[in-house]
Amino acid sequence: VAQTPSEKPRSLLPVIEVIPDRCYENPTWKGLYYFFRDLVVYGAAIAGLLLTDKIYFLIPLWIVAGLAVSGLFVVGHDAAHQALFKSKRLNGIVGRIAMIPSLHVFEAWVLGHNRVHHGHTIKSGFDFVWHPVSPEEYQAMSSGQKLLHKIEWSPAGYGLYYARQVWWQKMIWFIEPPKRYAAAIKRDKAILGASLLVICAVLAVVGYAQYDSVFGSLWLLIKVVAIPAALFMYTIGLVVHIHHIDKNIEWHGRREWTKYHGQVEGTTIIHAPKWLDFFLHWILEHSPHHVDMRIPMYNLYDAGQAMTAHFPVPERKLRVKDIVSNTRACKVFDFDQHRWMTYAEADAMRLPAPELDLSSSSQSHKAARTPAG
């Protein structure tokens, strides 16, 4: 029986208790199966891209490659949570390899995603993933900043938002990570950099041999590495938007925020078609993953069904009209009234004027209202 608002727990323990033990089973063979299956799909798409320049082949191959990169990323994401295997070492090896096509630094992802995003989901001022601006912040923006915000918070901008705000600023180009994590992040940056250097060098040589020009080398790098990675950025940006941006999801300040607010009410369970789950590994069944990160991706559906039988978790089928509706409605968040606003509503909102000390300036105000004699 679903609980009423007055009965909502503050902790996640009551929610975790309803999840069956079988949802935590993660045999080694199963994690390796999904990892190698995704590698095969990705490899086949890359082989196809190497063999053709015909646009009617390139487009479907790019789509498959982008989705395959997304699938490998989800595998790496599970490994980063130590959910894919019981072995920490195996999680580390598979996770780092799986994240290379998406250009992600494994330990930087662990810090930003596991510790910050999961630890403070939809908490104002802490969670950096699709953090909304207030009406005051929006109105204080320059015209250029408003334009960038409108692009990134539009259906066309999911990938740009993720690439700039999450991947680049929080995973690649942050200045100084906490000392506790700095060495591991530096090591994984080196691993990723060396891997990409080797891959790009091989592709550059192959491209020059195939096209007999430097531009041919550049084209091969764009065709095989850059475009699939860009399509992944768009896919993951859209997916994370679906996870946490919804007309019925409220962001909370630090004092009022609870783990239940963040991990149950701040997430969604979206049932995707089977062909999409083939690539994204049920990651849209997102609430159980936030409730307990130990649940492997292939058990998220069962865990989610156990949760919805006892708690009012947002749940629905994946529909384009819902994505469009939420994207149109959720532009700016009023943290005082706890509601989402459109840009038009934010522009029309009258913000309070600065308070004046009338006792000390009454004479000057009187003089200002009196015409010169």
pLDDT tens figures, 115-160: 999 999 999 999 999 999 999 999 999 999 999 999 999 999 999 9
Predicted confidence at residue 367, as pLDDT, reads 37
Q: Are 329 and 345 in contact (CB under 8 A)?
A: no
Cα separations in angstroms, 351 against 135, 251, 267, 346: 8, 20, 30, 10
Mean pLDDT of the chain: 90
Q: Give the pLDDT confidence score for residue 40 in this predicted structure.
A: 98
> 298-305 contacts: CB < 8 A, separation 24 or more?
298/30, 298/34, 299/22, 299/23, 299/24, 299/25, 302/20, 302/22, 302/23, 303/19, 303/20, 303/23, 304/269
pLDDT(5) > 80: no
Determine the pLDDT at residue 6.
46
Place 371 in a pLDDT band, splitting at 50, 70 and 90. very low
Q: What is the pLDDT of residues 42-97, one digit of tens each?
A: 999 999 999 999 999 999 999 999 999 999 999 999 999 999 999 999 999 999 99
Tokens 């727990």 -> residue: 9
State residue 7's pLDDT score.
67
Q: Which amino acid is at 82?
A: Q
pLDDT band at 352 (very low <50, low <70, confident <90, very high): low
19 close to 28: Cβ distance less than 8 angstroms: no
More confident residue, 279 or 347: 279
More confident residue, 44 or 352: 44
Q: Biggest alpha carbon distance in the chain?
A: 93
Q: Would you give the distance in Å from CA 245 to the centre of its chain?
A: 11
Complete DSSP assignment for 73-100? HHHHHHHHTT-S-S-HHHHHHHHHHHTT
Give percent of the chain above pLDDT 70. Answer: 91
What phi and psi, each to the nearest 5 degrees, are found at residue 350? -90, 115
Q: How far apart are CA 12 and CA 264, in angstroms?
A: 8
> Would you give the distance in Å from CA 74 to the centre of its chain?
11
| DSSP codes of every residue in 243-272 | HH--TTPPPB-TTT--HHIIIIIT--EEE-
Tokens of 344: 């038009």
- Nearest C-alpha neighbor of 164 from the set 130, 215, 201: 130
CA distance 153 to 138: 13
What SS3 state is found at 284? coil
pLDDT recorded at residue 360: 40
Tens digit of each residue's pLDDT (9 = 90 or more) over 226-258: 999 999 999 999 999 999 999 999 999 988 999
CB 196 within 8 A of CB 221: no
User: Are β-strands 339-341 and 332-334 bridged in parallel, bridged antiparallel, or unpaired?
Assistant: antiparallel
For residue 359, pLDDT beyond 60: no
Q: Which helix (H) or strand (E) holds 341?
A: strand 339-341
State yes or no: pLDDT of 176 exceeds 80.
Answer: no
